[in-house]
A and B are shown apart, each in its own frame.
Chain A
Amino acid sequence: NAGVTQTPKFRVLKTGQSMTLLCAQDMNHEYMYWYRQDPGMGLRLIHYSVGEGTTAKGEVPDGYNVSRLKKQNFLLGLESAAPSQTSVYFCASSRLAGGETQYFGPGTRLLVL
């Protein structure tokens, strides 16, 4: 039981390049989330999904897109990376939504030059 996994662990991009971060969970959770973590700002929700085929915007969605084609996977895309997107990205999942524990992946460190 791997829990929540994220690939890649670390990536360096040049401004304007695109990339996709992959999140996978093996707990059959309905809800999945993408957060970014920046110093002094805690965690901020980028996008989330309440089930296969559904996605919704969080607090800071601009510059990101997501897809949830399979229940176990949640992809985060950056179409044209900017230095402001340098951050640590965490994926999380939960069995249900309200009041439930979220299970986090180990994170992806992204540096945009």
Chain B
Amino acid sequence: GDSVTQMEGPVTLSEEAFLTINCTYTATGYPSLFWYVQYPGEGLQLLLKATKADDKGSNKGFEATYRKETTSFHLEKGSVQVSDSAVYFCALTYSGGYQKVTFGIGTKLQVIP
């Protein structure tokens, strides 16, 4: 079956540091890949997505590239802010009809001033 692997963390960074959160996946087909973010006390919200190999999703300074050859979708940001402190979930699903979304366990990011 499908699976998404990411470290649970917490990842602690100083403000303005470079961020990488690794996400690798195992898929039976050709999924769409997502990063969702969960701020404290809130539900998940979409951060970015990519629907096919070599696509780059970007939003709010975050980027991730769909790498089919390494089955990865790593999240990066050049300079993190305290307001980026949140839990980040990598996920995959497929197009066409109802398709289950497979989520990773979430990586907690703490940014300190």
Contact = CB atoms under 8 A, between A and B. Distances in A.
Contacts of B32: 99
A113 interface: no
Contacts of A42: 89, 103-106
Given A41-B105, A42-B103, A98 B42 contact: no
A99 B89 CA distance: 16
A106 B42 contact: yes
A102 interface: yes
Contacts of B103: 42-43
Q: Is the interface of B mostly helix, strand, loop or mixed?
A: loop
Contact of B93 (A48, A50, A99, A104): A99
B48 to A, nearest CB: 10
Interface string A88-113: 00101000011111111111000000
B113 interface: no
A45 interface: yes
A94 B69 CA distance: 30
Given A31-B98, A41-B105, A42-B106, A101 B46 contact: yes
B99 A98 contact: yes
Interface residues of A, number: 24
B34 interface: yes
Contacts of B101: 45, 102
A48 B98 CA distance: 10
Contacts of A106: 41-43
Contact of A98 (B44, B46, B98, B104): B98
A104 B100 contact: no
A45 B2 CA distance: 14
Interface of A: 4, 31, 40-43, 45, 48, 50, 56, 58, 90, 92, 97-107
Lowest 8 CB-CB distances: which A-B pairs, in order? Answer: A104-B43, A99-B95, A98-B99, A42-B105, A98-B95, A97-B98, A104-B44, A99-B32
